[in-house]
Amino acid sequence: MRPKPEVARAYRAAMSPCLSPRCDGAVIVETLTDGRCDQCGLHHRRRTGGAKWDLIVGPVVVTLSGATARTRTAPGYEERIDADAVTFKDKLTIDLTRGAARFITTVPATRVVRIVAR
């Protein structure tokens, strides 16, 4: 059973929201540096002593909106990236492995549609 909206709101105010934009879950603290979203189960991490969760531990699939003027893609176009880790700062840093090679790519945080565990 889901809690009443006002209870859920108070509960979430005390918790950190999930980093996946389309998820309205909250991060449940498991250890000092690790937590899990109560809705989607996404594994969040923060630095020791840090208050903010800014890292998602994969493997995850990051969905990016590709509809920018520069890429000239149709509205609604979405790009999916298999990632090993995602860091949230001003921009989004995505760690990914392609075969034996490791890549790091940064995208504007505004392009993130959702992040799901895979």
Residues that bind Zn ion (CB under 5 A): 18, 20, 23, 25, 37, 39-40, 42
User: Residue 20 Cβ, how far from Zn ion at the closest point, in Å?
Assistant: 5
Distance CA 25, CA 31 (A): 18
Q: In whole angstroms, how close is the CB of 31 to Zn ion at the nearest point?
A: 18
Nearer to Zn ion, 59 or 102 (CB): 59
Task: For residue 5, report the phi and psi dihedrals to the nearest 5 degrees.
Answer: -55, -45
Give min distance, CB of 78 to Zn ion, in A: 18
Nearest to Zn ion of 37, 64 (CB atom): 37
| Nearer CB in complex with Zn ion: 36/96 | 36
